[in-house]
Amino acid sequence: MINNNFTVRVLTHYVEEQSEPDKKRYVFSYTITIENNGARHAQLLRRKWLVTDANGKKLVIEGEGVVGEQPLIEAGDEYTYTSGTVLETPVGVMQGFYTMIDVDEKEFDIEVSPFRLALPNILH
């Protein structure tokens, strides 16, 4: 999805070795690439996520930066990081946004469209 001259790509992965399905613990990692297609750099200040499991349980996660960083993404460059989340169900969805600041010190949001977290081959 492209918004505010940024493209966000997401890859998800079920982390079987950290999961315990018998205890309703399903661990997922996600790798996000934020690509700056604009002509000016911007810095990622904050993130806000809404994580929803298959039972409808919702969790809001927000904070400064991502994985302990507030990266400056130069024009024409991209930033990639990997993080994770734990669900009580084998399927869920995440969505949210990043709050950025540009060279004019104007804040703006980059939306991250909903993406699925699911065990391999559980959905067709």
Residue 103 belongs to a domain with what CATH number?
2.60.40.1470
Q: Tell me the pairing of strands 72-73 and 78-87.
A: unpaired
Assigned domain for 124 exists: no
> Is 1 inside a domain boundary?
no
63 lies in some domain:
yes
Task: Give the model confidence (pLDDT) of 48-83 as tens digits.
Answer: 999 999 999 999 999 999 999 999 999 999 999 999
- Asked, for residue 110, whether it belongs to a domain, the answer is yes
Asked if residue 101 belongs to a domain, the reply is yes
Domain count, the chain: 1
| Structural domain contains residue 123 | no
Q: Which domain holds residue 50?
A: 6-118
Q: Can you give the pLDDT at residue 112?
A: 96
CA 49-119-31 angle, to 5 degrees, is: 45
Mean pLDDT on 89-115:
96
pTM (two decimals): 0.91
Q: List the one residue out of 49, 54, 122, 63 whose CA is nearest residue 88.
A: 54
Residue 103 counted as domain residue: yes
pLDDT digits (tens, 9 = 90+) for 98-107: 999 999 999 9
Q: How far apart are CA 112 and CA 69, in angstroms?
A: 18
Q: Is the pLDDT of residue 2 over 60?
A: no
